[in-house]
Amino acid sequence: MSIGWPMSWFDEPRLGSVRAAGTAAPARAFGGARSDVPMSQLTTFQVGGPARLLLEPLDPESAAETVRRVRQRGLPVRVLGNGSNLLVSDAGVEGAVIFTDRMRRCIQDEDRIRAWAGTHLVGLVNYAAKVGLSGVEGLIGIPAQVGGAVRMNAGGRWGEIFDVLESVTVCDLETGEVRTLTRSECQPTYRNSNLGNVMVLECVLRLKPGDRKAIAEATKEHLLEKNAVQPVTEPSAGCIFKNPKPDSAGKVIESCGLKGTRIGGIEVSPKHANYFVNVGGGTCDDALRLIELVRDRVRRERGIELQLEVQLW
């Protein structure tokens, strides 16, 4: 089933302030619209049925206006970034999916970088190194866009994105209201920004000036270390489970002899047990059944209740 929507929403992105709810919208287009788009083409796990309506805003302002237009039509709405950390139902997604991939821009202002939600982390990290700003090197290798990284407080052993976040601008997915929050107004926790039901539009990161060559070298070392232990060349959703501190989910799952366990086309990676990989033709149902198998085994053998890190649609 297709959902009717104007298909001529194309315009060039531009800089400018994010428009607050209730103010007049300019007479301009706000992006692109597609219908019945397979989510398997837009997720790193390569599973998922069709998005009935996929909307592609071009900048923070048009993204906020898109949210308001969708809500005016009474449609449920979800936000899609890089499609990592995500497991989408084989039945697909009803309502509207706002896809931020066109919203890519980084703007430097002395020791700050303003990044739009669709900016890929690898682009942000490399841009920071190019302009001699340090603080995000440890985010290299995380397959996310800035919006999703902020939304889940992405990070690892070298820190989290909220460590350097100065402010974030969000759009409420229920009301369309736009607001900017400082770091002190947020209450991020492990893999959770606690921002509520919002779409991240852009953020400002405050970094530290440093030697460009040294920053580039540190970035390279972090990436090589991650690539050595993660199945980066295979389709996956990233880490499936949160780490049950003080243990790591990967080591706990490995200790139960589950590396290489497969259901259908989804397998527990032989390289890193907290990654499930799509070895070909895998489905969401395969992944869900494998998740339950792993959780049950770990619960019985280790007495640990694994919590999902991957998001379910």
User: Exposure of 274 by Cβ count < 10 A (0-12 exposed, 13-18 middle, 19+ buried)?
Assistant: buried
Are 195 and 266 in the same domain? no
- Is 220 a domain residue? no
Same domain for 205 and 123?
Answer: yes
Q: Model-level pTM?
A: 0.86
Q: Each residue of 36-72: pLDDT tens digit?
A: 999 999 999 999 999 999 999 999 999 999 999 999 9
Higher per-residue confidence, 18 vs 306: 306
Asked if the model's pLDDT at residue 158 lies above 60, the reply is: yes
Average pLDDT over residues 127-133: 96
Task: Mark which of 49, 77, 99 sits at the end of a domain.
Answer: 99
Of residues 173 and 14, more confidence is placed in 173
User: Is 15 within a domain?
Assistant: no
Asked if pLDDT for residue 22 goes beyond 80, the answer is no
Tell me if 274 sits within 8 A of 239, measured CB to CB: yes
Do 114 and 178 lie in a common domain? yes
For residue 173, give every residue at least 6 positions away whose Cβ sits within 8 Å of its Cβ, in sequence order, or none: 67, 71, 77, 79, 197, 198, 199
Asked if residue 226 is part of any domain, the answer here is: no
Q: How high does pLDDT run on average in the chain?
A: 90
Mean pLDDT on 199-212: 98
Domain that residue 260 falls in: 232-312
Strands (E) in 132-254, as ranges, are 133-134, 155-156, 159-160, 165-172, 178-182, 198-206, 208-209, 236-239
- 172: which residues sit within 8 A by CB, 6+ positions away? 67, 178, 179, 196, 197, 198
C-alpha–C-alpha distance, residues 223 and 141, integer Å = 6
Amino acid letter at 271?
A: K
Cα–Cα distance list, 158 to 53, 154, 191, 237, 308 (Å): 38, 11, 14, 21, 22
- Gap between the Cα atoms of 273 and 258, Å rounded: 7
pLDDT band at 14 (very low <50, low <70, confident <90, very high): very low
Q: Which two tokens stand for residue 4?
A: 């009717």
Residue that is last in its domain, among 99, 116, 150: 99
In this structure, the answer to whether residues 202 and 142 fall within a common structural domain is yes
Using CB atoms within 10 Å of the CB of residue 94, give its burial: 0 to 12 exposed, 13 to 18 middle, 19+ buried: middle
Q: What pairing do the DSSP bridges indicate for beta strands 50-56 and 93-99?
A: parallel
CB 24 within 8 A of CB 45: no
Q: What is the domain count for the chain? A: 3
- Residues 81 and 50 both lie in one domain: yes
The answer to whether the beta carbons of residues 154 and 161 sit under 8 Å apart is yes
Task: Determine how many CB atoms are found less than 10 A away from the CB of residue 311.
Answer: 15
Same domain flag for 111 and 89: no
- pLDDT, greater one: 20 or 310: 310
The per-residue pLDDT for 19 is 43
Q: Is 66 inside any structural domain?
A: yes
Instruction: Give the per-residue pLDDT at 31.
Output: 72
Each residue of 223-275: pLDDT tens digit?
Answer: 999 989 899 899 999 999 999 989 999 999 999 999 999 999 999 999 999 99
In this structure, are 148 and 209 located in the same domain?
yes
Cis peptide before 246 (omega within 30 of 0): yes
The pLDDT confidence band at residue 16, using thresholds 50, 70 and 90, is: very low
